[in-house]
Each structure stands twice: as C-alpha cells, then as structure tokens.
Amino acid sequence: MKAWLLALASLAAQAQPVPVPVPDTLAQRALACTGCHGKEGRAAPDGYYPRLAGKPAGYLYNQLLNFRDGRRDYGLMSELIAPLSDAYLRELAGHFASLDLPYPPPQKPALPAPELARAEALIRNGDAARKLPACTACHGERLTGSQPAIPGLLGLSRDYLNGQLGAWRSGQRRAQAPDCMAQIAKALTEGEINAVTQFLAGRPLPADPHPAPALAAPAPLRCGGLQP
C-alpha cells in the first residue's frame, strides 16, 4: 500500500504544469498599460483611453510626469505610476514611442460641410483677433505632431479630443507652466471645440503618419511642455 501511495504521489507530481518563466523585459512590464490603452498601446475600443504607440517620447514622458505629480487627475494612472522614478518613466515612454503600428479608420463627421470648413480654417490659420494660433503651428502641417514632445491630433476619437479640451477648459487637465493648451482651450467656444474635434477625428492619416522631426518655426506661444 505504501509503495502504491508513493507511486501515485509521483504521478501527481509529474502531472503538475511546469511554470513558464516570465521574461523581465520592458515590453512585459508595459502590459500593465495595455490593459486600458489597448493591445500594444493602440488605444482602447471605447475611445476613452488614448493611443500610446508612436507618440513622441517627450510627450509621453511629460504626461506620465503630469499624472504622477498631480497636474492631470485620473486616480488609476496616478496610483499606478506614483512609485516610479523619472528614469523609469522616460524608459517606458521610449518603449511606446518606438512602436510603429497601424491607426484605426477615421470617424465620419456628423456636421455639415460649411462647419467643417470653418473648423479646418481655425486649425490651419488660427484667429489672430483672439490670439489663437493655428493648430498646425505646433502639431505640424500634417497634424501628426512634432518631435520631441508634441503629439499628433489625428487617429484619435472625437470623445477623447472633446474630453481633453474640456478638461483643459475646466482646469482638470494641466501641464507644466506656462500651460499654453489651457489658454487655447479656454479661448475656444463649445461649438468650435465640437467642430474642430469632428474635423480631426474624421481625417485619415497621411501616408507618413510619423511626427515631424522638429517644429517648422518657433512655437507661437510659450509652452512649458515643449521640452521633454
């Protein structure tokens, strides 16, 4: 009987699955981010959690600092990165910035053509009377962003774009001073924000969706987040 029990125990031990070692790599650790931001940081299907893949590393790094240091308010993000060092956050930002992945298709706008045309004029020309610079002055002529720290505006959902401009207007989202985007968002009307975000979300990505290597000219406003 004793030998039988020993044999049974031996068979049971052999039947146990062999543990699979988890690689200690940055890509493995970044899976904590993709639970919300979608596979490989492509963005969540609901449009609320934005794309991380391919954004300028300086921009991603600045946003991680903003969440950690209280300038942006989202409890889950703040708690997740609270114990992480500047060096580690920079490394994490670099990981997602290096991912070169396809973008989702654009969302069909729900506004008539004249309203979208006015939105495009504001995006490309600004409004000097209200000291509103063109979006393209910083985000690039192709609206795909500029290195090292300005994000693209295409490939994002209307809900996300509306949410961020609204957060800047209300003060819920802030950046390093001087916070130029807060100044811009507060100068826009709600109707303009709706039209601008519908235009941007409805635009397809250009053949080259990567950020421009640098600003084509000095930024029209002083912005604390321009340096990574």
State how many domains the chain has.
1
Is pLDDT above 90 for 228?
Answer: no
Task: Report if residue 73 sits inside a domain.
Answer: yes
Domain range for 161 is 34-201
- The tens digit of pLDDT for each residue in 197-208 reads 999 999 999 999
Token digits of residue 17: 């699955």
Task: Report if residue 5 sits inside a domain.
Answer: no
Task: Report if residue 55 sits inside a domain.
Answer: yes
Token digits of residue 175: 């950046």
State how far the Cα of 73 lies from the Cα of 69, in Å rounded to an integer. Answer: 9
Token digits of residue 48: 């609320």
Tell me, what CATH number does 169's domain have? 1.10.760.10
Q: pLDDT above 70 covers what percent of the chain?
A: 89
- The tens digit of pLDDT for each residue in 62-96 reads 999 999 999 998 888 989 899 999 999 999 999 99
Token digits of residue 2: 């004793």
pTM for the whole structure: 0.87
Q: Quick one: pLDDT band at residue 124, thresholds 50, 70, 90?
A: very high
State how far the Cα of 90 lies from the Cα of 12, in Å rounded to an integer. Answer: 47
- pLDDT value of residue 9: 52
Task: Report if residue 113 sits inside a domain.
Answer: yes
